[in-house]
Structure 1
Amino acid sequence: MRLLVTGATGKVGQNVLAAPPRDARFAEAQVVALCHNRGLSLDGVEVVNGSIASREDVARAMAGVTHVLHLAAVKESPDLAIDVAVKGMFLLLEAFRQSETAERFVLLGGDCAVGHIFQPYDSPITEESPRRAYPGCYALTKVIEEVMLEQYRIQYGIDTCCIRAPWIMEKDDFRFAMVFGPDQFGGPAWADLMPQADLERAWQEGLVPLMIAANGEPLRRSFVHVDDVVSAALTALVHPAAAGETFNITMNEPVDYGRLAALLKRRNGTEAIEIRTPFHGNWLDNSKARQRLGWAPDVDLEEMIERAWTYQRAEKDVRRVWYPG
């Protein structure tokens, strides 16, 4: 196997590159990383420096490749979205379909393709549910990527798989996604949902959010730990049942903010503040991945909390949003 990983310096990419030495299925694999804005120096990984939007750079990276794990993405970056998400994937798929060595192409998709908490669903979101992007270029590009992958399989008969993940957590990300004030990691921005006085009180008193969905119940939102995404990605690269399929890769149950608040009060003694939102509580269903791939997440809500609240971040290990590039 010769495996090309795009987005190799990002959150998922770095963990993927660290996994093959520990996984017997990839003991003999050659790993290639296509890197653009950030450098990479890792034993056993061949680095191709270039742009995913360059046909020549993609051709160099694809030379002799049997498997592709496409992780590269940009978020709300309209100036880069088309080059990376559309042109970049098009060039990868074109090179893949014309390659004499290509075997399987795996895309890391996102639950933004089905609108995660922005779009309402009357039942659990499966791989057969309609795609419903929320506003913004990121969600739109994730829909386009899934459709491109699907159509290339139909047009050219190539072996493809999409693993669709919600918000991916590592280290202490989950803890800081739940704080108020300047240390908040990710969204939604509390200032958009709360009066300023409530926001300042929540920050000063160390409260945790109990988001309430549009229907008046505690919000349910899907998360997944990066370790579980990596295990799913490696399985999707080699499992026969992954051919031509899409799989939701997520925790067995979405995070219920009411239960989350109760667990944090029991563990840390923290009080919650209710936040009324226009969001919809949805359930991203991972049954297909569990049944067909034999994959299951190791990290549930309680384990996610424990890992995030006990993690000690080194001074040089800066928490970051990995987009763009």
Structure 2
Amino acid sequence: MSSQTDKRRQEVLRAIVTDYVSSQEPVGSKALVERHDLGVSSATIRNDMAVLEAEGYIEQEHASSGRIPTEKGYRRFVDNISQIKPLSRAEHRAILEFLEGGVDLEDVLRRSVQLLSQLTRQVAVVQVPTLQVSRVRHCEVVQLADVRLLLVVITDTGRVEQRNVELAAPLDPDAVPQLREHLNRAMGGQTLSDASIAIADLAVNAPRNLRDVIIRCSTVLVESLIERPNDRLILSGASNLTRGNIHGRLPSTLPVVLEALEEQVVVLKLLSAAQDLHRVQVSIGEENEDEELRGTSVVSTGYGAGGEILGGMGVVGPTYMDYPGTISSVAAVAQYVGRVLKGSS
């Protein structure tokens, strides 16, 4: 087969994918001739479609119907996208202005998934920065009662974690600033794993009046923040999944997908693998490692600031999604999240 023939068949496949994504209706050779300037006869297109079907790129659901793309067809289509659909200048400006309105990191991320779900009409997800990559900016100590403290750990990624500490004996309120100073001296600027070592050493050398309090504080911090980090997911647009058409695989797997999104573990694992700030990954159907997402396509990338990855973000939708538009939107929103975070650091 000549390279020219292969290129034409790639164009036929591209046209079938584009039309099917737009209509979710099987595509026939007559429609391809009418809608696309492919420069060949309908007989040639029918022959190309027969070859594409034999090679597994398209399939015919019913004897009298047109063809629809297979997962293999979507993969070839995605691999041959030469240009990502650019967003307009107005869209770029609107994205930046909306994200810059965020009051803190979590608000920026919440806004990012709202934007992604609106731009792509799919489910958008973003991973809140993992505690393992965070450094402690400040640890605030609030005395709630004689024998109860509230520790508020604020990280450089803007994440805020609160933990209660029960004491064995009443703590003199005048000792709270001293306790705060000791904790911040040990933890400030450190990753949480390094901070765990520092606060363990702190307990050994602490003043006698604070030793038991510091041991209890360090135990709570180590057990709840370091040994059991609470990774979280922010999600927007789950209702978009219900727009699935009967020709796609998504509706039959909808309950499983919704459950996976709700439980978060599967999606968090997938986003954690998005460790590239400059590359958008596309996983189609059976390419997804977890069975719960095998009826979907996932478009994801990393986001961060100053070259440091803070987490992953992306879109979950049916295999018949608008790949060029979705890839463009995911890349743009991740880029602007990084720009906003860098400007606020």
**TM-score range normalised by the length of the shorter chain:** under 0.3
Q: Which has the higher helix share?
A: 2
Larger Rg: 2
Structure-1-length-normalised TM-score: 0.23
Structure-2-length-normalised TM-score: 0.22
